[in-house]
Amino acid sequence: MSTIGGLGEFGLISRLTRRLPQGPAVELGPGDDAAVVAAPDGRTVATTDLLVEGRHFRRDWSGPYDIGIKAAAQNLADVVAMGAAPTALLIGLAIPVDTAVEWAERLYDGLADECTRAGASVVGGDVVGASEEITIAVTALGDLGGRPPLTRSGARPGDLVAVRGRIGYSAAGLELLASGRDEPAELVEAHRRPQPPYEAGEEARAAGATALMDVSDGLLQDLGHIASASGVRIDITRSDVPVPGLLGSAGLDHVLTGGEDHAFAATFPEDAVLPPSWTVLGRVAEGHGVLVDGRPYERGGWDHFRA
């Protein structure tokens, strides 16, 4: 087995960058001190996340390709959640030197494929040795196309609250893996490979969204960020929350508090016409916080320091 340590830093970088297709937004890709990426509207959207082994992924539960998909998806979703089109990803990888080169290659295949799905390219990065855990730092860039960003702070009393994409699947899949099961496969796969509906950003814009974000920490917690940033209250109607039977008996909990699906939540003026892919499950009101059927919901979301 060929290991990363045997290959050395520059050998590994060469092996990895070879696997990365470069899209039209890339003016200068990997290999120099920095990349150069098109930012046609004179601004760039930028966001960064860290994924730490044991906390955000486990090598016995997810393969390297899955982890690449997930690492890319959660950052690309953050760009889309601003109402922007993803253009580029930069990857920092800290990895034990006894890891197989193929593991890193499959990770990069996942990163590259998810980028392609979102219209972006992996344009650069850094690889360093680590003692035990793998850490993946992902930065995503995007372009707003001359339009204002869709922030969390634009929700107004009277607005509709709606969601787009699978919610609760990843948490349900994680629970299965934690109990040693891998069926239903759809849930386990949803945990391994989130599928953010990237078209949600343009759909939300077209329907006049007043606020948009991706659901990464849990629906109620993330709606709480919109409520807080907008200075409003959000009222969820429990009977309007879609809970697929597949999610099992804890389905409602998974939908309301499960993170990592990278679906999208948005608020819209009350006369907005939403595509059928969006589900309205509440209203914006005056006040603060998030209520379900008029009361605070019991279970909390996901806090990386307390979980």
Cβ pair 81, 122 in contact under 8 A: no
Q: Cα separation of 107 and 124, whole Å?
A: 14
For residues 129 and 199, what is the distance between their CA atoms, to the nearest angstrom? 37
Q: Kindly tell me which of 44 and 237 has the beta carbon lying closer to a copy of itself.
A: 44
- From candidates 17, 22, 135, 237, binder to a copy of itself by CB under 8 A: 135
C-beta of 127 vs 280, nearer to a copy of itself: 127
User: What is the distance between the alpha carbons of residues 33 and 290, in angstroms, rounded to a whole number?
Assistant: 46
How many angstroms separate the CA atoms of 301 and 240, rounded?
20
**Is residue 72 part of the contact set for a copy of itself (CB under 8 A)?**
no
Calpha distance 299→171 (Å, rounded): 13
Please say whether the beta carbons of 251 and 263 come within 8 A. no
Could you give the CA distance from residue 143 to residue 37 in angstroms, rounded to a whole number? Answer: 10
Least distance CB 198 / a copy of itself (angstroms): 13
Asked if residue 47 belongs to a known ligand binding site, the reply is yes
CB of 79 to a copy of itself, least distance (A): 6
Q: Supply the minimum distance, in Å, between the C-beta of residue 104 and a copy of itself.
A: 12
What x/- string results for residues 213 through 252 when contact with a copy of itself is judged by CB under 8 A?
Answer: xx--------------x-----------------------
253 annotated as a binding-site residue: no
Binding status of residue 128 toward a copy of itself by CB under 8 A = yes
Site for a copy of itself in 73-92 (CB under 8 A): 78-79, 81-82, 84, 88, 90-92
- Is 49 annotated to bind a ligand? Reply is yes
- Report which secondary-structure segment, H or E, holds 93: strand 85-96
**From the annotation, which residues make up the binding site for ATP?**
108, 125-126, 152, 216
